[in-house]
Structure 1
């Protein structure tokens, strides 16, 4: 029975951390939208800001899951970043029904998400 409760708590760690990451993403994207409207930012600036949002969100989620896990924090953070990327990919597929961009862009986004989560886990 204890192992079952332990597994549930680990799943809850991941879900709570992912939820935090996506809330941060939503808030930062809203701020970026306002900045884009007010400041008329160019495409390169917006792309750089989106990369920063990926990193910030997964870093924060990695810190939270690392504090909950207390052991193998970098691994839990990387798991969180991977989960963040997979959900991001599924949302993109659901909205556009295709993957825009090259495989290199997907690989870069995966490395950013997994690396941000891993860094957050190590910081915690």
Structure 2
């Protein structure tokens, strides 16, 4: 039973990262095509986090069928943790300040929890 839930969560996270990849590719194309200012890029990246985590939380809620909001919340937390780990491995340091990290954590966890609640 536990292995089954772990596999469902892994599939959900893979789906969430695939959605992020597609949305970030579209954002990169918009940056190239329309020469967007940095403020719009930052807003777009925040939108990618929110939409990806929401969809991942929704999928987690559908897959788990009980305590959906907790599974959604876990999806958002794991998504953020993976982003943080990959960022650290790339630079060997965390360059963002605590406020930015807290904001991204809140966006990821709360939007994924909302997705789980709606599922």
Q: Distance in 2 between the 1:98 and 1:62 partners?
A: 29
Match of 1:63 among 39, 58, 67: 58
TM-score by length of 2: 0.98
- Structure 2 stretches lacking a partner, 5+ long: none
- Structure 1 stretches lacking a partner, 5+ long: 1-5
Q: Distance in 1 between the 2:117 and 2:95 partners?
A: 32
What displacement does 1:29 show?
A: 0.5
Structure 1 residue ranges, 4+ long, deviating more than 6 angstroms after superposition:
none
What CA deviation, in whole Å up to 9, does each residue of 1:63-117 have, x standing for no partner? 1110111111000000000000000001100111111121010011000000011
Written as runs of structure 1 = structure 2, the 5 A alignment for 1:7-86 is 7-86=2-81
Number of matched residues? Answer: 119
Q: Distance in 2 between the 1:45 and 1:103 partners?
A: 22
Query: Who wins on radius of gyration, i.e. which is larger?
Result: 1
